[in-house]
Structure 1
Amino acid sequence: MSESTLEQLCKIYTELNTEDINILKKVESTLNIYADLSNANMYIDCKMNENDHAIVVAEAFPSTSDSVYEKSVVGKFVFESFEPGVFYSYRGGKKSLISQAVTQDGRIVEQSVVPIKNGSHQIIGVLIQEKEMSQQSLVRSEQQKYSFGQETLGTMLGDDMGKIPIISSLLMETLLLTDNKNNLIYANPVGVKFITEMSQTDEIQHKNLVELLPFLKQVYDSKEDVFVFDMTLDRKNLVIKKVRLRNKEQHGETLLIIQDITELRTKEKELMMKSYLIQEVHHRVKNNLQTVASLLRLQMRKGSPEESKAYFEDTLNRIYSISSVYELILANEDADDDDVNIIELTRKVCSTLVLNELHKNISLIIQSNGNRILTSSRKAVSIALIINELVQNSLKHAFPEDILGEIIVEFHSNKDFLELHIFDNGVGMKKPRTSLGLEIVHNLVVNDLNGEFQYLPEDVGTHAVIAFPVSPEVVIYYEKENIDS
């Protein structure tokens, strides 16, 4: 059996699977009934997979009245700037009601939009009902919205095209109106400046706009009644929106809205360049750390005294801990984001330490307690070093050789504080001894994290706790109910 138009469009332009498409086909089969029942046009729109637009995949018209559109719109692209209700329903999963929406060919309609969901409650499309508003309905609608000042409001919005409307004069966008022969019949002040600069002439009134600005020819040649076009011209980046107006008072008039986004594009390029530079810095820091680690390993092999090798290993572990932070940042797909997932960082640091102690039978357990914790790269370096020192202490001193052991790293949180618990089931210690490692931990916790560090008494093993406040640099996402908080 041949595929329907809806199936073909969905397979070409969307990421919907066969099950989702079948749901849409069932909805499509009822469109004619609902169109007759409501005396309105019915449509199904779906989001496209390669951009932020939507596409009309099905339509139905009431048999008792004329269609809102002069021709079929199936296969037409839908832009958010013209039909915000469609995208509102897609994002929020809620019904959208717009009393005065603009159709694909410039008509004023009442529009209702409801999301269509699959069995997993995912939005796979939207169902749209459109009913054209008569002039009397428009007047009544406006009178219901505004209780006074109708004439003043009309002047502001520019009902009289012989005068320059106040609102359009304040717009930063170019606003142009041409007749059915493409002659310019209105331009706001920004538009006048734009045309005179681009055409190098002051004689623009009632002149053919395509002759004044030849680059607009492809916009006017497009048969689409609603058209959005990006263009780069003379180092200018422009977004051109065209709406062809069709009603009894306006015969083939075309409204153009031209937005100069050159400055925005320049800022985007600057931000992109900044992101590349930051990424390059991260690469160089990581590479430099690896170079230092390589030099230390080389020194260890070239006859360093046996008693000094332990100090080299401690230093190497600290370097690896810092390097882990930059490896996670560089693995992030978002080049602008230098936040580090502390849970992933802990796994990375601890796994390196355990691998370096292959002769010991140690089980390492990391529990997030349902948290996903992100922090800035600055704090991440401090946390990596703290975890390195405390886990390394357990590996060195808690378990004599050939004894099975367990080290647990846990994260507990509430809205104000984050706690890091590291405990083992080793031989324990009566009193913490002063060492370089514990000095590093204490200084980092107090000075960098503004927190507290202590050992808690345990019957078996040792239990270290670091507590520090949640801040804009430390963000906690609760993936499930945190019963350990």
Structure 2
Amino acid sequence: MAESTLEQLCTIYTDLSADDIQQLKSVASTLQMYADLSDAYMFIDCKMKDNEQAIVVAEAFPKSINAVYENSVIGKIVFDSFEPGVFYSYRKGKKSLIRQAVTQEGRSVEQSVVPIKNNMHQVIAVLIQEKEVYHAMPYTNNLEDLPFGQESIGYVLGDKNSEMPIVSDLLMEIFLLTDHENKLTYANPVGVKFITEMSHTEEIQNVNLVELLPFLKPVYDQQDDVFVSELTLDRKNLVVKKIRLRKKDEMRGTLLVIQDLTELRTKEKELMMKSVVIQEIHHRVKNNLQTVASLLRLQMRKGISEESKSYFEDTLNRVFSISSVYELILANEDAEDDDVDIIELTKKVCSTMTINGPNKKVGLIIRSNGNRILTSSRKAVSIALIVNELVQNSLKHAFPGDTRGEIIVNFYSKADSLELHISDNGVGIKQTKSSLGLEIVRNLVVNDLNGEFSYMPEDIGTHAAIMFPVSPEVIIYYEKENIDS
């Protein structure tokens, strides 16, 4: 295998950098030595850039008479369903060992896979070693190395006569077996039903399967002994897995496993439509809130009393707080995800209030304490309104005139609860007075968050604390452990 072939395949089919490709060329140069030393087949596989499959970019075969691979597999596509060890090592960055895997030639091999990492510790490829598995199992003291229940599984699979149905009879997948002339020699009950429905005939045994189901011709014409294809026909979505059964150079037959994904694809389309509808609802809610805000601003410009002005401003801030929730949802790339990042929401709500507030000398500090907190849109609306009311109170009453000061918003997390603390270093309050804003906070904390709200005593300023339990609607990612609150 020329190094130029590896470089060409990696350049065309992968996103690897020039340095990564150079590293793979270095590894590939040693494959033949290790193949001869271990009497095993060596391969390098790389993930493809446009799909979830991999491609073989390098190989080395040992000088053996009884070859497992008759032909080169350079440039062959590798599927997850047939090579789980390859994709496990890619995802986990760890070694994998498969005691019995199926090669492109339909032979059973023992497969060891190790990841190849670059200088940034990123997995750029996997190195594979394969040895043929013989039916006679060697003696070993390690019980984990041995399969068990061979007699029982043979009994269930139908190796012995019994009244028990074989496994393929109980599965929803279609199992079809054809001989070397592509004549149907076995079909499980689901397969029989499928063929009779699609071919409109009940005479199917020992009939050429391609004549019965012409849409399978491209699958049979495909030269690869192991092949996966997705077909769409007559409103059906099918995944066809083909394995040619060989003994040395002799082709014994072909096994087809067909999955009917029609119902699954229909459900996916329904979910997609629901997702689009939900997104459209979010858009409309956001637009309606902006319309309400525009009407309030228009009324304020038309002229209102000084006494009423503060009420209008408070209402505008509340509308904006709710609107911020939907803006963050719509900014989410995942259309089905309506979770809201509380930290980002708090920043959005507070920044506008401090910028538009009368006192420009008040600083705002928001601390997440190293945690990322997500919650449902319903709870996010409640939290946005709570933050709005409490920060707005501090801006209005804690810093008279042009007094300098700070407002600090703190999020603390525990194993089973979340705490929100909003404090300032302003003039403080001797006694809390009933107001619409505080009534909104109390109702939201108790009824929506099932939590507790209180003012904590401080020598300087005001300190409001909200505590509510963690629930399935609240997800905390502990980027940094936080204990004290």
Q: Same fold (TM over 0.5)?
A: yes
Which residue number in structure 1 is paired with residue 17 of structure 2?
17
Q: Give the letter aligned to residue 450 of structure 2.
A: N
Residue 154 and residue 250 in structure 1: after superposition, are their counterparts in 2 closer, same or farther (change >3 A)? farther
Which residue number in structure 1 is paired with residue 331 of structure 2?
331
Q: Separation in 1 of the partners of 2:463 and 2:440?
A: 18
Which residue number in structure 1 is paired with residue 120 of structure 2?
120
Q: How many residues align?
A: 482
Q: Secondary structure at the match of 2:120?
A: coil
Residues 360 and 403 in structure 1, CA contact (< 8 A), matched pair in contact too: no
Q: CA deviation at 1:146?
A: 3.3
Residue 100 and residue 186 in structure 1: after superposition, are their counterparts in 2 closer, same or farther (change >3 A)? same
Q: CA deviation at 1:393?
A: 0.7
Matches within 5 A, 1:191-206: 191-206=191-206
Q: Separation in 1 of the partners of 2:137 and 2:403?
A: 86
Matches within 5 A, 1:231-380: 231-247=231-247, 251-357=251-357, 359-380=359-380
Matches within 5 A, 1:460-475: 460-475=460-475
Q: Secondary structure at the match of 2:15?
A: coil
Q: Give the letter aligned to residue 327 of structure 1.
A: E
Q: CA deviation at 1:481?
A: 3.5
Q: Separation in 2 of the partners of 1:165 and 1:16?
A: 49
Matches within 5 A, 1:83-482: 83-137=83-137, 144-146=146-148, 150=151, 153-159=153-159, 166-247=166-247, 251-357=251-357, 359-482=359-482
Q: Separation in 2 of the partners of 1:35 and 1:46?
A: 19
Residues 111 and 130 in structure 1, CA contact (< 8 A), matched pair in contact too: yes
1:282-304, CA deviations, whole angstroms, 9 ceiling, x for partnerless residues? Answer: 11111111111111111112222
Q: Separation in 1 of the partners of 2:419 and 2:40?
A: 60
Q: Separation in 2 of the partners of 1:254 and 1:139?
A: 33
Q: CA deviation at 1:371?
A: 0.6
Structure 1 unaligned segments of length 5 or more: list them. none
Q: CA deviation at 1:319?
A: 0.4
Residue 395 and residue 416 in structure 1: after superposition, are their counterparts in 2 closer, same or farther (change >3 A)? same
Q: Percent identity?
A: 73
1:381-418, CA deviations, whole angstroms, 9 ceiling, x for partnerless residues? Answer: 01000000011111111112222221111111111221
Residues 369 and 483 in structure 1, CA contact (< 8 A), matched pair in contact too: no
Q: Separation in 2 of the partners of 1:484 and 1:366?
A: 17
Q: Give the letter aligned to residue 20 of structure 1.
A: D
Q: Secondary structure at the match of 2:335?
A: coil
Q: Secondary structure at the match of 1:145?
A: coil
Q: Separation in 2 of the partners of 1:270 and 1:127?
A: 41
Q: Give the letter aligned to residue 478 of structure 2.
A: Y
Q: Separation in 2 of the partners of 1:453 and 1:335?
A: 34
Q: Separation in 1 of the partners of 2:53 and 2:357?
A: 55
Q: Separation in 2 of the partners of 1:480 and 1:6?
A: 43
Residues 369 and 484 in structure 1, CA contact (< 8 A), matched pair in contact too: no
1:42-65, CA deviations, whole angstroms, 9 ceiling, x for partnerless residues? Answer: 111111222111111111111245
1:342-376, CA deviations, whole angstroms, 9 ceiling, x for partnerless residues? Answer: 00000000011112115521211111110100011
Q: Separation in 2 of the partners of 1:431 and 1:217?
A: 84
Q: Separation in 1 of the partners of 2:190 and 2:77?
A: 29
Q: Separation in 2 of the partners of 1:442 and 1:146?
A: 63
Q: Secondary structure at the match of 2:128?
A: strand
Q: Separation in 2 of the partners of 1:72 and 1:226?
A: 14
Structure 2 unaligned segments of length 5 or more: list them. none
Question: In angstroms, what is the RMSD of aligned CA positions?
Answer: 2.5
Q: Separation in 2 of the partners of 1:416 and 1:350?
A: 27
Q: Separation in 1 of the partners of 2:154 and 2:475?
A: 50
Q: CA deviation at 1:250?
A: 6.2
1:398-442, CA deviations, whole angstroms, 9 ceiling, x for partnerless residues? Answer: 112222221111111111221111111212121222211111111
What is the TM-score of this pair, normalised by structure 1? Answer: 0.94
Which residue number in structure 2 is paired with residue 40 of structure 1?
40
Q: Separation in 2 of the partners of 1:319 and 1:53?
A: 48
Q: CA deviation at 1:450?
A: 1.3
1:57-80, CA deviations, whole angstroms, 9 ceiling, x for partnerless residues? Answer: 111111245542111111111111
Residues 359 and 395 in structure 2, CA contact (< 8 A), matched pair in contact too: no
Q: Give the letter aligned to residue 329 of structure 2.
A: I
Residue 118 and residue 248 in structure 1: after superposition, are their counterparts in 2 closer, same or farther (change >3 A)? closer
Residues 41 and 67 in structure 1, CA contact (< 8 A), matched pair in contact too: no
